[in-house]
Amino acid sequence: MSPDKRPVRRAVIVAARRTAVCPRGGALAHLQADELAAPVLRQLLADADLAPDAIDQVLLGNALYGGGNPARLAALRAGLPASVPAMTIDTQCCSGLDAILQGARMIESGAAECVLAGGAESFSRAPIRMHRPETAEGRPVAYDRPSFAPPPFADPDLTEAAACLADRRGVTQEAQADFAVTSHRKADAAMPAIGKRLVRPDAAAPERDGFTRPLTRKTVLRAPVLAGDADTGLNAATIACEADGAAAVLILSAAAWAKRGGGPCLNIRQGVSIGGDPADPALVPIKAARNLLHDQGVPVGQLSAVELMEAYAVQAQVTMAELELDPARVNRLGGALARGHPIGASGAILVVQLFQALGSQESAAESDERLGLALIAAAGGLGTAMLFERTVSKGG
Protein backbone atom coordinates (compact mmCIF):
# COMPACT_ATOMS: atom_id res chain seq x y z
CA MET A 1 0.00 0.00 0.00
CA SER A 2 1.40 3.38 -0.97
CA PRO A 3 2.11 5.80 1.93
CA ASP A 4 -0.58 8.27 0.80
CA LYS A 5 -3.24 5.51 0.88
CA ARG A 6 -2.53 4.14 4.33
CA PRO A 7 -5.51 4.37 6.69
CA VAL A 8 -5.36 7.25 9.14
CA ARG A 9 -4.54 6.01 12.63
CA ARG A 10 -6.01 7.97 15.52
CA ALA A 11 -4.42 8.26 18.94
CA VAL A 12 -6.68 8.49 21.98
CA ILE A 13 -6.05 9.14 25.66
CA VAL A 14 -7.92 6.60 27.76
CA ALA A 15 -6.57 7.43 31.23
CA ALA A 16 -4.92 10.45 32.86
CA ARG A 17 -3.39 10.80 36.32
CA ARG A 18 -1.06 13.02 38.31
CA THR A 19 0.38 13.50 41.76
CA ALA A 20 -0.42 16.47 43.89
CA VAL A 21 1.80 19.46 43.10
CA CYS A 22 3.71 20.81 46.09
CA PRO A 23 6.08 23.76 46.46
CA ARG A 24 9.82 23.13 46.44
CA GLY A 25 10.91 21.86 49.85
CA GLY A 26 7.35 20.80 50.69
CA ALA A 27 5.51 17.52 51.16
CA LEU A 28 7.08 15.81 48.11
CA ALA A 29 10.64 17.01 48.70
CA HIS A 30 11.88 13.55 49.73
CA LEU A 31 11.10 12.01 46.33
CA GLN A 32 13.14 12.01 43.13
CA ALA A 33 11.39 12.75 39.85
CA ASP A 34 11.26 9.08 38.84
CA GLU A 35 9.87 8.16 42.26
CA LEU A 36 7.08 10.66 41.68
CA ALA A 37 6.33 9.32 38.19
CA ALA A 38 6.43 5.56 38.81
CA PRO A 39 3.19 5.26 40.83
CA VAL A 40 1.40 7.44 38.27
CA LEU A 41 2.43 5.03 35.50
CA ARG A 42 1.30 2.03 37.55
CA GLN A 43 -2.09 3.62 38.23
CA LEU A 44 -2.66 4.33 34.54
CA LEU A 45 -2.20 0.64 33.76
CA ALA A 46 -4.66 -0.24 36.49
CA ASP A 47 -7.19 2.32 35.25
CA ALA A 48 -7.19 0.76 31.77
CA ASP A 49 -6.76 -2.84 33.00
CA LEU A 50 -3.61 -3.22 30.94
CA ALA A 51 -0.70 -5.54 31.63
CA PRO A 52 2.75 -3.90 31.88
CA ASP A 53 3.98 -5.77 28.80
CA ALA A 54 1.31 -4.06 26.68
CA ILE A 55 3.32 -0.82 26.73
CA ASP A 56 5.43 -0.11 23.66
CA GLN A 57 7.13 3.11 24.82
CA VAL A 58 7.46 5.44 27.81
CA LEU A 59 8.07 9.15 27.16
CA LEU A 60 8.55 11.59 30.03
CA GLY A 61 9.42 15.27 30.02
CA ASN A 62 12.00 16.53 32.51
CA ALA A 63 13.92 19.81 32.62
CA LEU A 64 16.17 19.94 35.68
CA TYR A 65 18.12 16.69 35.74
CA GLY A 66 21.68 16.33 34.48
CA GLY A 67 21.13 13.03 32.67
CA GLY A 68 20.36 9.52 33.86
CA ASN A 69 17.15 9.20 31.80
CA PRO A 70 14.50 9.60 34.52
CA ALA A 71 11.90 8.07 32.17
CA ARG A 72 13.78 4.76 32.20
CA LEU A 73 14.10 4.84 35.99
CA ALA A 74 10.39 5.56 36.35
CA ALA A 75 9.43 2.77 33.94
CA LEU A 76 11.48 0.18 35.81
CA ARG A 77 10.23 1.40 39.19
CA ALA A 78 6.69 1.10 37.87
CA GLY A 79 7.22 -2.59 37.15
CA LEU A 80 7.32 -2.37 33.37
CA PRO A 81 9.38 -5.10 31.68
CA ALA A 82 13.02 -4.26 31.03
CA SER A 83 12.26 -4.72 27.33
CA VAL A 84 10.06 -1.57 27.26
CA PRO A 85 12.09 1.42 26.02
CA ALA A 86 11.87 4.78 27.77
CA MET A 87 12.97 8.24 26.65
CA THR A 88 13.34 11.52 28.52
CA ILE A 89 12.44 14.71 26.63
CA ASP A 90 13.76 18.15 27.56
CA THR A 91 12.10 21.15 25.97
CA GLN A 92 11.91 22.86 29.36
CA CYS A 93 8.34 23.95 30.20
CA CYS A 94 6.99 22.30 27.02
CA SER A 95 8.53 18.92 27.91
CA GLY A 96 5.47 17.19 29.37
CA LEU A 97 3.13 18.30 26.58
CA ASP A 98 5.77 17.52 23.95
CA ALA A 99 6.11 14.00 25.37
CA ILE A 100 2.38 13.45 24.88
CA LEU A 101 2.53 14.91 21.38
CA GLN A 102 5.42 12.62 20.43
CA GLY A 103 3.59 9.64 21.91
CA ALA A 104 0.56 10.43 19.76
CA ARG A 105 2.74 10.72 16.68
CA MET A 106 4.30 7.32 17.36
CA ILE A 107 0.83 5.78 17.39
CA GLU A 108 -0.36 7.73 14.33
CA SER A 109 2.70 6.57 12.40
CA GLY A 110 2.21 2.92 13.34
CA ALA A 111 5.38 2.78 15.44
CA ALA A 112 3.41 1.94 18.61
CA GLU A 113 -0.02 0.84 19.81
CA CYS A 114 0.27 1.82 23.48
CA VAL A 115 2.36 4.62 24.99
CA LEU A 116 2.73 6.08 28.48
CA ALA A 117 3.62 9.77 28.19
CA GLY A 118 3.87 12.73 30.54
CA GLY A 119 6.40 14.49 32.72
CA ALA A 120 8.01 14.55 36.13
CA GLU A 121 10.01 17.13 38.04
CA SER A 122 11.47 17.52 41.48
CA PHE A 123 12.81 20.98 42.11
CA SER A 124 13.61 19.77 45.61
CA ARG A 125 15.89 16.89 44.53
CA ALA A 126 17.33 18.29 41.30
CA PRO A 127 21.13 18.19 41.05
CA ILE A 128 23.23 21.20 41.97
CA ARG A 129 24.61 22.46 38.69
CA MET A 130 28.22 23.47 38.11
CA HIS A 131 30.40 24.21 35.10
CA ARG A 132 33.69 22.32 35.04
CA PRO A 133 36.81 24.53 35.13
CA GLU A 134 38.66 25.06 31.88
CA THR A 135 42.04 24.42 33.51
CA ALA A 136 43.35 22.08 36.17
CA GLU A 137 43.88 25.05 38.48
CA GLY A 138 40.35 26.41 38.04
CA ARG A 139 37.34 25.78 40.20
CA PRO A 140 33.84 24.66 39.22
CA VAL A 141 31.35 27.50 38.80
CA ALA A 142 27.80 27.02 40.05
CA TYR A 143 24.86 28.18 37.92
CA ASP A 144 21.11 28.28 38.37
CA ARG A 145 20.05 27.73 34.78
CA PRO A 146 21.67 26.86 31.46
CA SER A 147 21.67 29.12 28.43
CA PHE A 148 18.47 28.84 26.41
CA ALA A 149 19.72 30.73 23.35
CA PRO A 150 23.28 31.44 22.16
CA PRO A 151 24.62 34.82 21.02
CA PRO A 152 23.57 36.86 19.13
CA PHE A 153 20.09 35.87 20.33
CA ALA A 154 18.73 37.44 23.48
CA ASP A 155 18.54 35.05 26.44
CA PRO A 156 16.65 36.98 29.12
CA ASP A 157 15.77 35.82 32.60
CA LEU A 158 12.20 34.60 32.14
CA THR A 159 10.83 36.64 35.01
CA GLU A 160 12.43 39.78 33.63
CA ALA A 161 11.01 38.99 30.20
CA ALA A 162 7.54 38.62 31.73
CA ALA A 163 7.96 41.91 33.58
CA CYS A 164 8.88 43.63 30.31
CA LEU A 165 5.78 42.13 28.71
CA ALA A 166 3.60 43.47 31.53
CA ASP A 167 5.12 46.92 31.09
CA ARG A 168 4.68 46.93 27.29
CA ARG A 169 1.06 45.77 27.48
CA GLY A 170 0.20 47.86 30.54
CA VAL A 171 -0.97 44.87 32.60
CA THR A 172 -1.17 46.38 36.07
CA GLN A 173 -0.25 44.76 39.36
CA GLU A 174 -3.92 44.93 40.32
CA ALA A 175 -5.00 43.09 37.16
CA GLN A 176 -2.37 40.41 37.74
CA ALA A 177 -3.47 40.12 41.37
CA ASP A 178 -7.09 39.62 40.34
CA PHE A 179 -6.04 36.90 37.91
CA ALA A 180 -4.07 35.08 40.64
CA VAL A 181 -7.00 35.31 43.06
CA THR A 182 -9.29 33.78 40.43
CA SER A 183 -6.84 30.96 39.75
CA HIS A 184 -6.73 30.02 43.44
CA ARG A 185 -10.50 30.35 43.79
CA LYS A 186 -11.14 27.99 40.88
CA ALA A 187 -8.58 25.48 42.16
CA ASP A 188 -9.96 25.53 45.69
CA ALA A 189 -13.52 24.97 44.45
CA ALA A 190 -12.39 22.13 42.19
CA MET A 191 -10.20 20.38 44.77
CA PRO A 192 -12.67 17.54 45.50
CA ALA A 193 -12.90 16.78 41.78
CA ILE A 194 -9.14 17.16 41.26
CA GLY A 195 -8.54 14.72 44.10
CA LYS A 196 -10.16 11.94 42.07
CA ARG A 197 -7.28 12.09 39.57
CA LEU A 198 -4.46 12.28 42.12
CA VAL A 199 -2.04 9.45 42.89
CA ARG A 200 -0.16 9.41 46.19
CA PRO A 201 3.44 8.24 45.64
CA ASP A 202 3.71 7.17 49.28
CA ALA A 203 1.93 7.48 52.60
CA ALA A 204 3.55 10.85 53.30
CA ALA A 205 2.26 12.43 50.09
CA PRO A 206 -0.66 14.85 50.37
CA GLU A 207 -4.13 14.32 48.97
CA ARG A 208 -4.37 17.83 47.49
CA ASP A 209 -2.15 20.43 45.86
CA GLY A 210 -0.03 22.10 48.48
CA PHE A 211 -0.05 25.73 47.36
CA THR A 212 -3.75 26.40 46.74
CA ARG A 213 -5.25 28.80 49.28
CA PRO A 214 -7.83 31.55 49.72
CA LEU A 215 -6.42 34.84 48.43
CA THR A 216 -7.60 38.41 48.16
CA ARG A 217 -6.28 41.23 46.00
CA LYS A 218 -5.09 42.96 49.15
CA THR A 219 -3.10 39.88 50.20
CA VAL A 220 -1.48 39.51 46.78
CA LEU A 221 -0.51 43.18 46.56
CA ARG A 222 1.25 42.99 49.93
CA ALA A 223 3.92 40.76 48.36
CA PRO A 224 7.06 42.64 47.31
CA VAL A 225 7.71 43.24 43.63
CA LEU A 226 10.27 40.74 42.32
CA ALA A 227 10.60 42.14 38.80
CA GLY A 228 9.38 45.28 37.07
CA ASP A 229 8.10 48.50 38.58
CA ALA A 230 5.42 49.51 41.06
CA ASP A 231 2.74 49.78 38.37
CA THR A 232 3.10 46.54 36.42
CA GLY A 233 5.61 44.53 38.44
CA LEU A 234 5.45 40.80 39.23
CA ASN A 235 5.44 39.33 42.72
CA ALA A 236 5.47 35.89 44.33
CA ALA A 237 1.70 35.50 43.97
CA THR A 238 1.65 36.37 40.26
CA ILE A 239 4.55 34.04 39.41
CA ALA A 240 4.02 30.27 39.65
CA CYS A 241 6.13 28.84 42.45
CA GLU A 242 8.83 26.23 41.89
CA ALA A 243 7.27 22.86 42.61
CA ASP A 244 7.49 19.05 42.60
CA GLY A 245 5.07 16.73 40.81
CA ALA A 246 4.40 14.22 38.05
CA ALA A 247 1.64 13.61 35.53
CA ALA A 248 1.06 11.16 32.69
CA VAL A 249 -1.52 9.78 30.30
CA LEU A 250 -2.09 6.43 28.63
CA ILE A 251 -2.34 6.73 24.84
CA LEU A 252 -3.69 3.93 22.66
CA SER A 253 -4.54 3.66 19.00
CA ALA A 254 -8.28 4.11 18.56
CA ALA A 255 -8.45 0.63 17.01
CA ALA A 256 -6.72 -0.95 20.02
CA TRP A 257 -9.08 0.86 22.40
CA ALA A 258 -12.12 -0.33 20.42
CA LYS A 259 -10.86 -3.92 20.56
CA ARG A 260 -10.70 -3.62 24.33
CA GLY A 261 -14.33 -2.57 24.49
CA GLY A 262 -13.97 1.15 23.92
CA GLY A 263 -15.55 3.81 26.09
CA PRO A 264 -14.98 7.51 26.87
CA CYS A 265 -11.64 8.83 25.67
CA LEU A 266 -9.89 11.97 24.56
CA ASN A 267 -9.19 11.92 20.85
CA ILE A 268 -5.93 13.71 20.00
CA ARG A 269 -6.98 15.81 17.01
CA GLN A 270 -3.60 17.41 16.33
CA GLY A 271 -0.67 19.17 17.94
CA VAL A 272 2.00 21.64 16.93
CA SER A 273 5.35 22.73 18.35
CA ILE A 274 6.90 25.91 17.02
CA GLY A 275 9.80 28.23 17.70
CA GLY A 276 9.79 32.01 18.04
CA ASP A 277 11.78 34.91 19.42
CA PRO A 278 13.82 33.75 22.45
CA ALA A 279 13.55 37.30 23.80
CA ASP A 280 9.76 37.04 24.05
CA PRO A 281 8.94 33.40 24.85
CA ALA A 282 5.54 34.18 26.37
CA LEU A 283 4.12 35.14 22.97
CA VAL A 284 5.17 32.03 21.03
CA PRO A 285 2.20 29.80 22.05
CA ILE A 286 -0.20 32.39 20.64
CA LYS A 287 1.04 31.66 17.13
CA ALA A 288 1.08 27.93 17.86
CA ALA A 289 -2.59 28.04 18.87
CA ARG A 290 -3.59 30.13 15.87
CA ASN A 291 -1.80 27.80 13.47
CA LEU A 292 -3.36 24.72 15.05
CA LEU A 293 -6.92 26.03 15.18
CA HIS A 294 -6.71 27.34 11.62
CA ASP A 295 -5.35 24.00 10.36
CA GLN A 296 -8.17 22.13 12.12
CA GLY A 297 -10.89 24.58 11.10
CA VAL A 298 -11.88 25.20 14.71
CA PRO A 299 -13.06 28.68 15.77
CA VAL A 300 -12.03 29.73 19.27
CA GLY A 301 -15.69 29.89 20.24
CA GLN A 302 -16.03 26.12 19.76
CA LEU A 303 -13.54 25.33 22.51
CA SER A 304 -15.28 23.97 25.60
CA ALA A 305 -12.16 24.07 27.77
CA VAL A 306 -8.67 25.56 27.52
CA GLU A 307 -5.76 24.60 29.75
CA LEU A 308 -3.28 27.47 29.55
CA MET A 309 -0.03 27.41 31.49
CA GLU A 310 0.16 30.18 34.09
CA ALA A 311 3.90 30.44 34.59
CA TYR A 312 3.18 34.16 35.01
CA ALA A 313 -0.20 35.83 35.36
CA VAL A 314 0.70 38.36 32.68
CA GLN A 315 1.70 35.62 30.24
CA ALA A 316 -1.70 33.96 30.56
CA GLN A 317 -3.56 37.28 30.46
CA VAL A 318 -1.87 38.43 27.24
CA THR A 319 -2.42 35.03 25.60
CA MET A 320 -6.11 35.07 26.52
CA ALA A 321 -6.53 38.58 25.16
CA GLU A 322 -4.69 37.86 21.89
CA LEU A 323 -6.65 34.66 21.22
CA GLU A 324 -9.93 36.15 22.50
CA LEU A 325 -10.46 33.20 24.85
CA ASP A 326 -13.52 33.09 27.07
CA PRO A 327 -12.17 33.42 30.65
CA ALA A 328 -14.94 31.11 31.90
CA ARG A 329 -13.52 28.30 29.76
CA VAL A 330 -9.85 28.81 30.67
CA ASN A 331 -8.30 26.76 33.50
CA ARG A 332 -11.67 25.88 34.93
CA LEU A 333 -10.01 23.75 37.63
CA GLY A 334 -7.49 26.46 38.48
CA GLY A 335 -4.07 27.06 37.01
CA ALA A 336 -0.38 26.88 37.84
CA LEU A 337 -0.50 30.07 39.91
CA ALA A 338 -2.63 28.09 42.34
CA ARG A 339 -0.63 24.85 42.32
CA GLY A 340 2.96 25.58 41.25
CA HIS A 341 5.24 24.83 38.30
CA PRO A 342 7.05 21.46 38.22
CA ILE A 343 8.63 22.39 34.90
CA GLY A 344 8.91 19.05 33.08
CA ALA A 345 5.50 17.93 34.36
CA SER A 346 3.51 21.12 33.83
CA GLY A 347 2.51 20.46 30.21
CA ALA A 348 1.31 16.97 31.09
CA ILE A 349 -0.69 18.35 34.02
CA LEU A 350 -2.56 20.54 31.53
CA VAL A 351 -3.74 17.41 29.71
CA VAL A 352 -4.76 15.63 32.91
CA GLN A 353 -6.78 18.71 33.89
CA LEU A 354 -8.30 18.87 30.41
CA PHE A 355 -9.19 15.17 30.51
CA GLN A 356 -11.15 15.87 33.68
CA ALA A 357 -12.61 19.22 32.64
CA LEU A 358 -14.04 17.85 29.40
CA GLY A 359 -15.30 14.71 31.04
CA SER A 360 -17.16 16.69 33.69
CA GLN A 361 -19.46 18.35 31.16
CA GLU A 362 -22.56 16.17 31.53
CA SER A 363 -25.32 18.48 30.32
CA ALA A 364 -27.67 16.65 27.97
CA ALA A 365 -27.84 19.80 25.87
CA GLU A 366 -24.17 19.52 24.95
CA SER A 367 -22.68 17.41 22.19
CA ASP A 368 -21.07 14.08 22.99
CA GLU A 369 -17.92 15.45 21.37
CA ARG A 370 -16.28 18.42 23.04
CA LEU A 371 -13.13 20.30 22.10
CA GLY A 372 -10.26 21.29 24.37
CA LEU A 373 -6.95 23.08 23.89
CA ALA A 374 -3.72 22.75 25.89
CA LEU A 375 -1.17 25.53 25.47
CA ILE A 376 2.27 26.20 26.96
CA ALA A 377 5.43 28.29 26.39
CA ALA A 378 9.04 27.44 27.12
CA ALA A 379 12.37 29.16 27.59
CA GLY A 380 14.32 29.75 24.41
CA GLY A 381 11.22 30.79 22.47
CA LEU A 382 9.29 27.52 22.17
CA GLY A 383 5.56 26.92 22.22
CA THR A 384 3.35 23.83 22.02
CA ALA A 385 -0.39 23.54 21.47
CA MET A 386 -2.57 20.42 21.30
CA LEU A 387 -6.22 20.05 20.35
CA PHE A 388 -8.35 17.30 21.90
CA GLU A 389 -11.84 16.03 21.33
CA ARG A 390 -13.84 14.25 23.99
CA THR A 391 -15.65 11.30 22.43
CA VAL A 392 -16.81 7.75 23.05
CA SER A 393 -15.05 4.99 21.18
CA LYS A 394 -17.36 2.08 20.34
CA GLY A 395 -16.06 -1.37 21.09
CA GLY A 396 -15.78 -3.99 18.43
Q: Which amino acid would we find at residue 269?
A: R
By C-alpha distance, which of 323, 253, 254 is closest to 293? 323
Using DSSP, state whether 53 is helix, strand or coil. Answer: helix
> DSSP labels for 137-165?
T---EE-SS--SS-TTS----HHHHHHHH
CB-CB contact of 278 with 149 (8 Å): yes
Residue 294 annotated to the active site: no
The residues near 141 (Cβ < 8 Å, ≥ 6 apart) are: 130, 131, 133
Rounded Cα gap, residues 306 and 165, in angstroms: 22
CB-CB contact of 313 with 173 (8 Å): no
Q: Which amino acid would we find at residue 385?
A: A
Let me know the angle formed at the C-alpha of 58 by 44 and 282, rounded to the nearest 5 degrees. Answer: 95
Rounded Cα gap, residues 36 and 19, in angstroms: 7
Catalytic residue among 114, 164, 265, 341: 341
Rounded Cα gap, residues 221 and 391, in angstroms: 43
Catalytic residue among 22, 30, 93, 114: 93
Neighbouring CB atoms inside 10 A of 355's CB total 27
Residues noted as catalytic? 93, 341
